[in-house]
Structure 1
């Protein structure tokens, strides 16, 4: 149709008010919604490729880095009865300050003059030591004198044995000679060559030689017996003196042991008496009394009170699952959220997290804890903001331990499949806070 007029139908007829237009046209709202949805889709696709920091979460509490800086329980070193308190809860004490006074409950320590009596007994034992020592020396001198006398007596006896032996040999020679002479004379007498007088004289000489031989033999045997008697007599005397000397030495050593025991007991009693006044081991504040009252009996090693050191280096102990333990390394960084401290946490983007504080792993336990998890110890990161001074021991803490950087889509896929974070080996330490560029994946 030719457009030969300036009157357009749109100007004359309101198309928007017609029913057909309303049924066929797209509302403006849907146009805006379409644009928003496309924008959201594009942003979602972009976000899928944004780096996401994998992490492991753990929960624990605030503690001290060094064991001597943690809350300490004061125990009774000995069993006793509480007689006087010198502090109360909330007091600040210095090292060596008296906390409580206790008295004895064992009857063996009731004697007020126990140390003096033991000292007197010790002096008596020490005097006995000198006596035993002198006795051993005297017996040693006696043994020496006996041995010298034995040597002289034996030499004399040996000389007498030698002389008697020579005399006995001479008597044997004379006996043999007389025997030969008598036999010869007897033969000649039988033949009538010798007279009766010669025979009797020869017989008399033979009898005299026999008597001398017998006497010499008896004398020689008596000399040998005397020699053996001297040896036996001196051996008995020396043995008795040696036995007495060994007894004196044995008594000396036994008394020495008793002296050592008495000295040890006296020293133990003196040390024990120093335990009557329980003192503070270090500077701190008395936080809680575990015992109360006067005249109450306490056992050895029983807690009396708790002291919190005033100077300490704060740390956080966090417990993680065993499956996450291989991902932990000494010196690795993390973010910590403390109970009661406002925080906005984006675990995958630590750079935009608010209200958390940097931490560094300083120790990792190799033994499973009682709760079935592994314990790690974290201290403040020197390159980060200092931790708040208002943090107190025992308050809860949540740690976000930073691992490898991966795309968001990969992290979503990993979470949907229930896979653990990727294992990595830290190549280097240092750099900026939470620098993941120095971590490489090891699959």
Structure 2
């Protein structure tokens, strides 16, 4: 048993080394091609997976895979929260709340109708599929906006929506699942109350930890952990996620709000020394890059092309409606009435196009497989097709579209903790 454990550990360590070595080359290539690195990581991951060279073979249902995806997503959410600015969120919060709540429901209904038509599914099962892929993905969008400098209020709206709508998508998915499996009844009121509960507790947990961490690393008198700020950030990301989850709240939302608090710590009169701030910035940037490598190499390596091929035509039809019909309808219904934000048509069109599917929908699809949900394999197939198509089509064209719509900001992408 001991020999087996050592050999298994060596095998995993070898795969980690492959991801880091090949990922570094992919990052350089992405920079030269001027495309988001998550695209390159995903494509190369499919080539290195069991269906290709077989260099990466970490099972989707393994504890190691779940650990990497959960922690990686948490850290990228922290990174995204850090980049938000309070003054911008004040201006667009109505749009963010609308997109992250009603927007998910609108997207799910339209996409569910498409799944019912293209795949011949009973509407309840079609709605279950649509609920899984209705939310956008912060693990994809946050890295994209790290590399493509788009107008602040646009990028921060899309990132905030992606962080907040994961809870909505998960609640909607499990509400529909209960009805589909005959173990519950769907109640819009109950779902709304559950969403409010998870969101509020998640935000409170994240805010408290964010204030505590800011005090420990940046307070003039009590900031005795300033030189250990990177370590504090790691501990607090884990604490925010597990603490909120223990309260049956949204762990991802807690991590995002924690990052927002740390990124806006100057609002509390906190300020780190210049040298320590730079060390923290460098640590977060490097750690985020490593997390992107692991997440998207793993996602790529786990794509089952044989399964996707079984429902390819119908799946493409569903994904096309998701991208080209459901998303634009959702954005215009939720954002256009927000008179305070005064969105331009160019801004709305850009938001319509940025709705990548990724880690969280993939995790939900995996959970449905685990509990034996109706048509779980088909749902998993279409989910991974949505991940591939939206990342390859939308992430690669983000810079081009932002340029055409005159939404690019001058200068390189910024990465600062405030």
What is the TM-score normalised by the length of structure 1? 0.16
Larger Rg: 1
Whichever structure has more helix as a proportion of its residues is 2
What is the TM-score normalised by the length of structure 2? 0.16
